[in-house]
Structure 1
Amino acid sequence: MGPVRRSFSASCSRPVRKAPLSPARTTRCRPRITLHCQIDAEGTCLVPGRMLAEITKLLPPGLVTLSTAGHRFVICCGDAVYSLPLLPLADYPATASPEAEHQSALAAGAFAAAVGRVAVSAARDDVVPALAGINLSFSGDAVELASTDRYRLGIARVGLTEQVDPFEVLVPAKALGELTRPFAGDGGRLLLSLTAETLHLRNLTRSAWIRTLTGPYLPYRRIVPDHTPISATVDRVALRDVVRRLSVVAAGLTPIWLVYGVGSLRVRAGSDDDASGAETLAGTVTGAPLTVAFTAQLLLDAINSFDSPQLITAYTGAWKPAVLTGANGNGEPNGDYLHVLTPRLLPLE
């Protein structure tokens, strides 16, 4: 019930729009799950979804029996017995989907991981709906995922199981992230189908629909610098821990400064008039010395979006966007994901 419960409309006053049989037109995502069970009599029921989710979450361990009695839906588990009112099936919106315009397939785990990384860069509000979305650009044997809130940009690439004609779709980042995690847990292939207003995700036991956002998406590739003569490779976990510790004295908009020198990275925050801190990390630095400032939380989010042993940070200059990529233990870059982060435009200290 967990993935289904998250799709219920909290703002809709009609009970039928909060039921788990099928989605309301106002919802952005519509999950459907198939469970293996013993069926004594076939039928379809429509019940209050949020209440059903709360009940099933609290049931004791053991087999669950579902049945109807008159106009009630009965849930039995051990000594626990609950009943809910049945809602009229005829009042529920139709669920038939039009024929798909585009289809593709890919590894569910790899797609969910890419969505999780890219979603870090999506806007947290709907003031500009497109900025709260993830753009999926399909072409050839891969799909490119991108999101930006104007301060940062995430781009990931996932291979497809077969060649497809080029097409794009923009979907809400939060809904896509919530729905892809259960598919990743299932493993195997994930099938994607696109209609005029809906992206359909499915495997052998689970289905979900997401309402798309209006496009086109902004030309995000122009944000990525073409040439970055200054770069540094450092241990990602060590940098994350240093930034996390220094965030104590870099609350709010107080910047964290990265000072790149010969063979080292000095990380500092705060000022002489207030609390301050600094630590030094070993690293491989190429290019001219550089001092750059970032907002602590945005920098920490960027570092946490990677899972590689090392992190490469590349720059054109102190006030130009920084390009972060992952690297293996030997310092070799991983080109499947990059994160572009805008530095703070502050006078160099």
Structure 2
Amino acid sequence: MKLVADQQELAAGIGWVAKGLPHRTSTPILLGLLLTAGPDRATIAGTDHAISTQLALDCQVDAEGTCLVPGRMLAEIVKLLPPGPVTLAAADNRFTVRCGDAVYTLPLLPVIDYPATTDAEAEHRAAVDAAEFAAAVGQVAVSAARDDVVPALAGINLSFADETVELASTDRYRLGIARVGLTSPVQPFDVLVPAKALVDLTRAFAADGGQLLLSVADETLLLHNLTRSARVRTLSGPYLPYRRIVPDETPIRATVERAALRDVVKRLSVVADGMTPIWLEYGVGSLRVRAGSADDASGAETLAASGTGDSLTVAFTGQLLLDAINSFGTSHLTASYTGARKPAVLTGATETGEPDGDYLHVVTPRLLPQQ
């Protein structure tokens, strides 16, 4: 096998695939990258069993073939080479990297031991705009659990129906729901995918732009476009009936500038440790945000707000509130309530209070004796 490719393109491709390789494994063969040189392009592939990635790279192929190379070492070498053409060649159980006067050699790994990937027939298919889908994944992933004690809570549920996919995640303290349009109608189906893996993978597809194709087969979600593909093992079991958490009616609503509220919560977090709540006090035309107590450090700031309904005072854990605010990209936020002890529903809004976007975030308030 022998090929010549541009250093920057090669470094980006190898780096993306190598990023998914395991750091520790009882199967050392999984530490390798599988390089295959075809008639006019090469493919770079890697797997840790749970996630598999592959990238097609246009290049000059002088000799076709397949080889398995230590992945992370190759990625580091190619990344640090100067710009220009890079030659990769495999012969006599050695792998050679050449760029100008630089020459590096690596041992080859046995290709025969590398796990084969089989393409099962897809049970379901859908297509989305890659950038829109990645943005929605990033928003709802904020609500996913950070550990896998309950695997389903560390996942994002994708619910496909007609011309829409609804994404949802919850760690029981918060819930994120987003909707993205499909390029064509599909029959209803659901799939539950690890949140962290989906965030990392969709970010790369978004950078490519264009359309992202999704298919489900044999408990695996396949994501692919013209040059890049990834397989993610799905999580089992039905997802939580999360729609029951969202109230049908919210008589109390207030709209506030998002960046201003974010900055106030950040400042108040200095005097509010993890156990100290941040209070939101809604009045006529204003929102007072405070934290701390008279016996300890404290702070308070007031923001302009518009809304409907009665006055309300509600407490939140500071980090949950800040995560919720940061998950939006709109200029304003509308917070909707049924009461001080019920979940708050946050939605994006324009300056005039009109809805903006197809994402909502539900956050549970702190239940305190003085409420």
TM-score tier after normalising by the smaller chain length:
over 0.9
Residue in 2 that maps onto 1:177: 199
2:263 to 235, 241, 245: 241
Structure 2 distance, partners of 1:329, 1:278, is: 24
- Paired residue type of 1:277: G
Residue in 1 that maps onto 2:238: 216
Q: Where in structure 1 do 4 or more consecutive aligned residues deviate above 4 Å?
A: none
Distance apart, 1:62 and its partner CA: 2.2
- Paired residue type of 1:199: L
Q: Aligned pair 1:37/2:72, yes or no?
A: no
Residue in 2 that maps onto 1:4: 17
Contact kept? 1:325, 1:334, Cα under 8 Å: yes
Q: Aligned pair 1:138/2:139, yes or no?
A: no
Distance apart, 1:285 and its partner CA: 2.5
Distance apart, 1:335 and its partner CA: 4.7
Residue in 2 that maps onto 1:230: 252
Structure 2 distance, partners of 1:229, 1:80, is: 69
Structure 2 distance, partners of 1:126, 1:268, is: 34
Residue in 2 that maps onto 1:189: 211
Contact kept? 1:257, 1:293, Cα under 8 Å: yes
129-138 or 71-80, which moves further after superposition? Answer: 71-80
238-247 or 70-79, which moves further after superposition? Answer: 70-79
SS in 1 for 2:58: coil
RMSD: 1.3
SS in 1 for 2:66: coil
C-alpha distance after superposition, 1:280-316 (max 9, x if no partner): 0001021111000111111110000000010000001
Structure 2 distance, partners of 1:270, 1:118, is: 30
Distance apart, 1:56 and its partner CA: 2.3
68-77 or 54-63, which moves further after superposition? Answer: 54-63
2:342 to 317, 320, 334: 320
Residue in 2 that maps onto 1:198: 220
Contact kept? 2:86, 2:97, Cα under 8 Å: yes
Extract unaligned runs of 5+ from structure 2.
1-13, 35-44
Structure 2 distance, partners of 1:302, 1:247, is: 14
Extract unaligned runs of 5+ from structure 1.
none
2:351 to 329, 335, 345: 329
Aligned residues: 348
Q: Aligned pair 1:276/2:298, yes or no?
A: yes
186-195 or 13-22, which moves further after superposition? Answer: 13-22
Contact kept? 1:291, 1:348, Cα under 8 Å: no
Structure 2 distance, partners of 1:175, 1:4, is: 13
Higher strand share: 2
Structure 1 distance, partners of 2:51, 2:209, is: 21
Structure 1 distance, partners of 2:359, 2:214, is: 21
Residue in 2 that maps onto 1:161: 183
Residue in 1 that maps onto 2:9: none
51-60 or 227-236, which moves further after superposition? Answer: 51-60
Distance apart, 1:51 and its partner CA: 1.6
Q: Aligned pair 1:309/2:331, yes or no?
A: yes
What's the TM-score, normalizing by structure 2?
A: 0.91
Structure 2 distance, partners of 1:222, 1:259, is: 27
1:17 to 14, 25, 30: 30
Contact kept? 1:135, 1:170, Cα under 8 Å: yes
Q: Aligned pair 1:296/2:318, yes or no?
A: yes
Distance apart, 1:23 and its partner CA: 4.4
Residue in 1 that maps onto 2:101: 79
Contact kept? 1:104, 1:191, Cα under 8 Å: yes
Structure 2 distance, partners of 1:79, 1:281, is: 62
Q: Aligned pair 1:63/2:85, yes or no?
A: yes
80-89 or 294-303, which moves further after superposition? Answer: 80-89
Structure 2 distance, partners of 1:219, 1:159, is: 22
Aligned residues: percent identity? 70
- Paired residue type of 1:3: W
C-alpha distance after superposition, 1:241-300 (max 9, x if no partner): 111111111121211100000000000111111111111000102111100011111111
Structure 2 distance, partners of 1:18, 1:8, is: 6
- Paired residue type of 2:285: G
Q: Aligned pair 1:127/2:140, yes or no?
A: no
